[in-house]
Amino acid sequence: MQPHSPVDPQDQPHVPGPSLWPVGFAVGVVVLLVGLIVSWWIAGLGALVALAFAFLWVRDLTVGTPLTHTPEVPPESPTGPALPATDGPAAMPLSLSDERFPRSKFLELSTLGLGGVIGGIVTAPALGFMIAPAFLKQGQKDHDLGPLSDFPEGRYVVATYMADAAQGEVSRRTAYVRFNGQQNGQPSFSVISNHCAHLGCPVQPNGPLDEQNKKQHGDVTLIPTISIAGFGCPCHGGQYDTEGNRTSGPPVRALDRYSFSIRNGRLFIGKPFSVSHVDGAGASAQIHKWKLSFPGEPVSGLESWLYPIQPPH
Amino acid sequence: MATRRVTRTEQLQQTILYPVDWLEERSGLVGGLKYFLFRKVPGDINWFQTLGSATLTAFIVQALTGSILAMYYKPDPNSAYPSIQHITNDVWAGWLVRGMHRWGASVFIILMFMHMGRVFLFGAYKYPRELNWVIGVLLLAMGLAEGFTGYLLPWDQTAYWATVVGINLNGTAPFLGPFIAQFLQGGTYINADTLARFYAIHMLLIPGAIIALIGLHLYLVVRLGVTSPPWSREAAGTGSIIPSRNGGRRGLTRPRPRRSR
């Protein structure tokens, strides 16, 4: 007896039941294709995986495993007699909307999800390309400033040099270098950055330069000062003493300094660091050293809590 | 004789209107433009309400002159300043276009603030236009960022040091400030990439965002209608003589005009 069915079986969409085997098949095909480029045994592995999953998939389709749950009572056949559970064809769901998780919903979510994934795959490298180079490989290379004899004792020398010759003049930096004489048998230097601790303008020595004794080798220029009373910033009037301590104006800390090293009798300028203040002067000065911070950021005291993390310099 | 002349006029009109009708039938663009340009506004609006259009005009001038300047400008530390000199001194009318862009920038910023002041004093930021105020504030921030990034491009001493100060000002923002500053200059110090970075932000990233936001801004203006001045008898939400279909909010939201078809 053919039971009455509200939906003509011919009109039912012939969709295969849900199956996870195609996923494995797809993975196998991808591995196979990658293997064709990379090496033959990966291709073979991919082929094996694809074949195995293809077999399982085809078996599912042909054997006709009841993959969907049959509703206990067909909801749209109130007139028909109750069906024995063993009757074959009626065991399929009668309409797609009865599914707990309808196909349209799945397609909607997968479209959004795939779109999101594709968008992310495209956006992430582009954003990284925009942001990462500003934070990676920022280290300063040591730079040769010339023989120790170029630095007279007790006088600042205005030293400018190109930090990166490939970039040219844009990488030119200025440091104020003073030879403090010998300290425990080692030559002592004060190497002060010209970046104002207020907002980064170039501080100038408050005193005349000895232009006659200007020296130039390579990209380095050395101009000794005659006698200076400290440093001053032309932008907003910050003033510093000869050790770089702030004496007046808006700066929030002392001038930054550079580490230095001496190789074969030549002075090398090293990595910059920030200084909160300097006690004493010259070779015996106590420098309160901090991690390099941007101008305008206090490195000590309560306000320094506003800048807990510094980007890699 | 007279009838013949009329027919001729009609024929002429037909000929002129034919492409317009052709476009309208296929896209509805003509009707859309008419709807945008000839929409109903309160009867007692005044000249202060043209400040928004003036700002838009200033932006269009900036976009056009900027695009043309980009044909001669070279965003490279070694050639930026010479290329500016070239534009100003050698290229025909270069001084004029550069001057329009340079002074137009100030005009754009000033007009944005005046427009903002008008909206504030007229109370035009109130319900249901709060979102448009927020978009306007974003546009103002974008406009100021345009001013900041554009200022570096001449690559002279003023530009360079003003940008150093500007970047370090960003650096003093709590917590994220150092990262913003380092992102802006593309490293620990100003370097060869900084200029190109500012150029790209100045003429691609921010203008794109501004154009999108202006579109949204105008959409909301058309959708919500223009506010009456505060002294208007048709003040927002009150004074409706004829009961309107949307619950008496005559000054706030106007019913959509009836479609012609």
CA distance B157 to A150: 30
One domain for residues A261 and A158: yes
One domain for residues A202 and A121: no
Q: How far is B207 from chain A (nearest CA, A)?
A: 17
Contacts of B185 in chain A (CB under 8 A): 134
Nearest to B168 among A294, A308, A309 (CB): A294
Task: Return phi, psi of residue A274, to 5°.
Answer: -95, 155
A205-237 tens-digit pLDDT: 999 999 899 999 889 999 999 989 999 999 999
- Within 13 Å and on the Cβ side, how many CA atoms surround B83? 15
Q: In this structure, what token pair is assigned to residue B48?
A: 């202060």
A275-292 tens-digit pLDDT: 999 998 888 889 999 999
One domain for residues A125 and A157: no
Residue A15: inside a domain: no
One domain for residues A54 and A85: yes
One domain for residues A249 and A295: yes
Q: In this structure, what token pair is assigned to residue B201?
A: 């932000």
Q: Do B178 and A163 touch (CB under 8 A)?
A: no
Q: In this structure, what token pair is assigned to residue A136?
A: 């990676």
Domain termination residue (choose one: A117, A134, A151): A134
Q: How far is B153 from chain A (nearest CA, A)?
A: 14
Q: Do B178 and A297 touch (CB under 8 A)?
A: yes
One domain for residues A251 and A231: yes
Q: Do A308 and B175 touch (CB under 8 A)?
A: yes
State ipTM. 0.76
Measured CB to CB, residues of chain A less than 8 Å from chain B are 131, 133-135, 138, 140, 163-164, 167-171, 173, 199-202, 235, 292-297, 306-311, 313
Count up the domains in chain A and report the number: 2
One domain for residues A26 and A125: yes
Contacts of A293 in chain B (CB under 8 A): 178
Give the H/E segment covering residue A258. strand A257-263
More confident of the two residues A183 and B1: A183
| pLDDT for the residue A243 | 94
Contacts of B77 in chain A (CB under 8 A): 167-170
| pLDDT for the residue A72 | 54
Residue A97: inside a domain: yes
Which residue from B minimizes the CA distance to A137?
Answer: B187
A187-199 tens-digit pLDDT: 999 999 999 999 9
One domain for residues A199 and A283: yes
Pairing between strand A286-290 and A266-279? antiparallel
DSSP-based three-state secondary structure for A77:
coil
| pLDDT for the residue B234 | 61
One domain for residues A290 and A193: yes
Q: Pick the residue of A196, A199, A235, A305 with the most B CBs within 10 A to test the interface with B by mutation.
A: A199
Residue A3: inside a domain: no
| pLDDT for the residue B37 | 87
CA distance A309 to A297: 12
CATH of the domain at A220: 2.102.10.10
Task: Return phi, psi of residue B90, to 5°.
Answer: -105, -45
One domain for residues A124 and A151: no
Q: What is the pLDDT along chain B (261 residues), one digit of tens a residue?
A: 555 667 888 888 888 889 999 999 999 999 999 988 888 888 788 899 999 999 999 999 999 999 999 999 999 999 999 999 999 999 999 999 999 999 999 999 999 999 999 999 999 998 889 999 999 999 999 999 999 999 999 999 999 999 999 999 999 999 999 999 999 999 888 988 899 999 999 999 999 999 999 999 999 999 988 888 888 776 554 444 444 555 444 444 444 555 554
Which residue from B minimizes the CA distance to A139?
Answer: B188
- Minimal CA–CA distance to B168: which of B158, B157, B156, B182? B182
Contacts of A134 in chain B (CB under 8 A): 182-183, 185-187
CB atoms within 10 A of CB B121: 11
Which residue from A minimizes the CA distance to B187?
Answer: A134
| pLDDT for the residue A99 | 61
Contacts of B161 in chain A (CB under 8 A): 201-202, 235
Q: In this structure, what token pair is assigned to residue B74?
A: 């070279």
A52-93 tens-digit pLDDT: 999 998 888 776 544 455 555 555 555 555 555 555 555 555
The least confident of A15-19, A126-130, A263-267, B249-253 is B249-253
DSSP-based three-state secondary structure for B213:
helix
Tell me: cis bond preceding A13? Omega within 30 of 0 counts: no
Residue A13: inside a domain: no
Q: How far is B202 from chain A (nearest CA, A)?
A: 15
Nearest to B171 among A201, A297, A309 (CB): A297
Q: How far is CA A188 from CA A76, A100, A275, B64, in A?
A: 96, 80, 17, 59
Residue A26: inside a domain: yes
CA distance A19 to A49: 16
Q: In this structure, what token pair is assigned to residue B257?
A: 């005009």
Contacts of B75 in chain A (CB under 8 A): none
Q: In this structure, what token pair is assigned to residue A5?
A: 């069915």
Q: Which residue has the tokens 């990166």?
A: A164
Q: Do A200 and B164 touch (CB under 8 A)?
A: yes
Tell which B residues from 191 to 210 touch A, by Cβ distance under 8 Å: 191-195
One domain for residues A99 and A233: no
| CA terminus-to-terminus distance, chain B | 36
Residue A167's pLDDT band (cuts 50, 70, 90): confident
Domain termination residue (choose one: A94, A113, A134): A134
Residue A202 belongs to what domain range?
A: 143-306
Q: Do B177 and A131 touch (CB under 8 A)?
A: no
Whole-structure pTM over 0.95, yes or no?
A: no
One domain for residues A107 and A152: no
- Minimal CA–CA distance to A191: which of A200, A183, A209, A179? A179
| CA terminus-to-terminus distance, chain A | 84
Contacts of A295 in chain B (CB under 8 A): 168, 171
| pLDDT for the residue B225 | 87
Q: How far is A204 from chain B (nearest CA, A)?
A: 14
Percent of chain A with pLDDT over 90: 60
Going from the N-terminus, what domains does chain B have, and what CATH number goes with each? 51-224 (1.20.810.10)
Residue A5: inside a domain: no
Domain termination residue (choose one: A134, A158, A179): A134
Nearest to B168 among A135, A202, A296 (CB): A296
Residue A157: inside a domain: yes
Residue A166: inside a domain: yes
CA distance A137 to A277: 29
CA distance B199 to B197: 5
CA distance B56 to A54: 61
